[in-house]
Amino acid sequence: DSHLGDFIEDKMAILPIDAAIQANLRETTTRVLASLTPREERVLRMRFGIGMNTDHTLEEVGQQFSVTRERIRQIEAKALRKLKHPSRSRKLRSFLDS
């Protein structure tokens, strides 16, 4: 027996392909971030809220590391430069087309 509800599309449901892409993006992001130093990885995760509930200001991250916000800005800039290198950015570029 079928019910009418069986044939109505759930607009809130995530399509399996989208779920797979999200999982792959999470896994790839984790791998790429792990290629940085632990400090750089943690700074980027905190600054951009990656794998966290919220992002943090330079000041807040600086307090966690007991350094100035300027030092955190420098660490963040260096880490982002590393991520822009073709050896790392190539791994994430394919997700921009999705």
Looking at domain 39-98, which of 1.10.10.10, 1.10.260.40, 1.10.390.10, 3.40.50.2020 is its CATH number? Answer: 1.10.10.10
SS3 92: helix
- Residues of the chain predicted below pLDDT 50: none
Q: pTM of the full predicted structure? A: 0.77
pLDDT at 75: 98
- Reported for 34-38, long-range contacts at CB under 8 A and 24+ positions apart, including other chains, are 35/82, 35/88, 36/79, 36/82, 36/83
